Amino acid sequence: MKMEQIDFELRGEFIPLDALLKATGLADNGGAAKAMVAAGKVEVDGRQELRKTAKLRAGQVVAIAGARVRLLAPGTGPGGQDAA
């Protein structure tokens, strides 16, 4: 089974972990996202993350069963442009 790769472009400086899981569709809702984190099913940069609202920033990678999410800085995502 191939792992799904998701590139997620931030809109600001950071996104809380539970909000990221919901925004990417990896969790159906906020409650499910928090339960996944509390159950120890989520890794950030290769380490288990138990803080439901951990602030995630560009360059970090979130992994959960079957999926990896790479966080991109605003304006650098697919089809985005760097502001120069």
User: Residue 35 maps to which CATH number?
Assistant: 3.10.290.10
Q: Give every residue of the chain whose pLDDT is below 50, as ranges.
A: 81-84
| Residue 61 lies inside a defined structural domain of this protein | yes
Q: What distance in Å separates the CA atoms of residue 13 and residue 67, rounded to the nearest whole number?
A: 23
- Confidence (pLDDT) at 81: 47
- Confidence (pLDDT) at 48: 98
- Confidence (pLDDT) at 23: 96
- Confidence (pLDDT) at 75: 86
Q: Is 17 exposed, middle or buried (0-12, 13-18, 19+ CB in 10 A)?
A: buried
| Residue 79 lies inside a defined structural domain of this protein | no
| Residue 30 lies inside a defined structural domain of this protein | yes
Domain with 49 in it: 4-72
Number of domains the chain is built from: 1
